[in-house]
Structure 1
């Protein structure tokens, strides 16, 4: 496979090689290089039968080596056109610069408090108001007007119009040593900093992708073993609502999740199932709220847990309903 060289290190530049091999359906991928002692050191990134997991492990490993300064002797390891051959956009450089700067803990905390308040007011997840990275960018660049706010990554025209007045009122009283507009950032980020940051982004992205694949394999194994929803939630260390969302995704991808669904719905009265499936046939299965109102008399459970259980049953029944329609077609 491709060889990678490091611009600095032992002796005048370290060199390593990535590898992928297959033997009787079992895949292996990893990294090997020569140590100072002359011995070959080998690191296995993946060993198994899943091509999907192999590919994610390979990409995650390569991105990690590139973050350390290694560069491929042949391009195209992670992308057709290497990013270092493209001129970076200002927004990307602004994000790179902000990620590398420290920010006032006091300002960041005040922004977090503001975000929690807005999320409660709008009944939306906090990350939809602003991500942690966006709040950090605000604390680094400290915009003093809505026009300046729109230069901060993540705050376009609509977001600035919606939250700009409040954010500017919070940040305008803080002195800053830099100027706006932020074009000066292009000269403040050198090529080595940018390359290291870009590879860190790729390593993080591929790491998340690999984690999702591994979690999917773990979930499918649990379903095959006959585990209950509660047992799977404990094994996966996630809430039942999140777990059902993952199961719905598996069903959409074509995996057989009906054994788990049938097991969980076994305790649901047949009349309740018939009413729910009839409502889906009549109202459609896209939106759960009208189904909940039809099946459970238009009133949510008196307790949060009861309401959650109602929606949980409807989501599992929807999987069964959709699968039966596919079979009929």
Structure 2
């Protein structure tokens, strides 16, 4: 079926329309959990045009019939559409771009109400997953009979998801305190940054030290140091003339902190509660590091400044204000 035929058939089954946040809804097992995402939330009204949003049409049985994706980058223009087709135990999801060109076709097959496979046919390839269950709970996602994901459950729900040797998700242990663990990350940054900077040799007094992060919820940063600041690049850490790395690792508590901050963002990507928490941790560490006796390590200029900022400089002004 072509674009017009699928659109006409799917739209004819829509009984109601609802606005949803990205990433919307998807029936595939562990589709969201494997990437630390959560299904989209229903909205009472369409958000401003500069935000991504989905309009989902449901049929009389409450099933998704049509999904329309509107782009905030494109000032609210429609840029993707997905049309569902239900035929007993076989369900098709056809995804098209704004020009009506098909991007991919998903075919889902069900047995006894549980999805058993999802086959993808796209412009440049194909893929197939199959699903295994124990007592009605998804336990394995397979690709060509090879486990792609293994899920463990207990009486309280999902325990962990493992992809090969990679731990994708792990439920925090009882008593896990995110706030306390974030303070521990702050303490680690305060200890590691001076060590990393002290290992470098500079060609003159240090003027700027920037803790530069890409994603605040990742709590990972590089240290950029400048001895000669060009006014044009004063607030552009990658243009400084020295760089040092610190490694917080990715096991134990720090991995759980990153996971939980990412999941907080997944609750509402526009609010970004996890990223905001991570940003505050970076600011708290920078504030404490400003009191470090740097003159005992290397000469500094009269206008020496230590601060933290994201690579795109979106957080620059409020970070400078919060760091004191």
Q: Which has the higher contact order (CA 8 A, sep 6+)?
A: 1
Question: TM-score, normalising length from structure 1?
Answer: 0.24
- Name the structure with the higher helix share: 1
- Name the structure with the higher strand share: 2
| Higher radius of gyration, 1 or 2 | 1
